[in-house]
A = this chain, B = another copy of it.
Amino acid sequence: MSNRSLIDELTQALQCLPSVGPKSAQRMVYHLLDKNRNGALKLSDVLARAVTEIGHCQQCRTFTEEDLCSICSNQKRNDNGAICIVEMPVDVVAIEQTALFSGTYFVLMGHLSPLDGVGPEQLGLNLLEQQMQKGNINEVILATNPTVEGEATAYYIAEMARKYEIQVSRIAHGVPVGGELEFVDSTTLSHSFTGRSFL
């Protein structure tokens, strides 16, 4: 193979991307070299800038290159008084796409997991508590993932909110729209029963 060094180096480096193995990395290398060198240069530049410039929002901890993210720096959304707790920045994107929520977010960047040494401090819950103390939050919406750790984290934050007499709610879990009952696991189904709404 021509040029073991650099082509192999790139094939190796590309495997830092999720779900990219040696084969697809090789395909990418030859595709870029053959068809899209400008795209590769642009990617290289944006990658470097993103990694160095993007930090965490001082209020909600999501990814941003400024001190405050576009949502936290929006006064209208702060006045709304509702704060939605999610695990990852990508969850913010998902909820924003529904265009249903007009409050602010708090991104835990993970969930409580004592075995991995992830406690309240790692999730920045002290920062969240400070915001609760300020008293301009009137509802905490828990949108952590419906996993054991996610539920535990939600429970912990719910307790914290009650201390400050803030209303707490958990997003509904149930049969996904368009899903068919026969294919829904029993846990989800039981959730959708206990969480049924009366018409």
Q: Is A116 an interface residue (CB 8 A)?
A: no
Copies of this protein chain in the complex: 2
A13 near B33 with CB under 8 A, answer: no
Q: Determine, out of A40-48, A161-169, A179-187, the stretch whose residues face the partner at the interface.
A: A40-48
Cα-based distance from A36 to B109 in the complex (angstroms): 14
Cα-based distance from A39 to B31 in the complex (angstroms): 21
Besides the contacts A2-B60, A10-B50, A30-B63, what 19 more A-B pairs have beta carbons closer than 8 Å? A1-B70, A2-B62, A2-B71, A2-B89, A3-B64, A4-B70, A6-B46, A6-B53, A6-B65, A7-B63, A18-B27, A18-B28, A33-B54, A33-B89, A34-B109, A40-B51, A41-B52, A44-B48, A47-B47
Cα-based distance from A88 to B98 in the complex (angstroms): 46
Residues of B within 8 A of A51 (CB): 32-33, 37, 40-41, 44
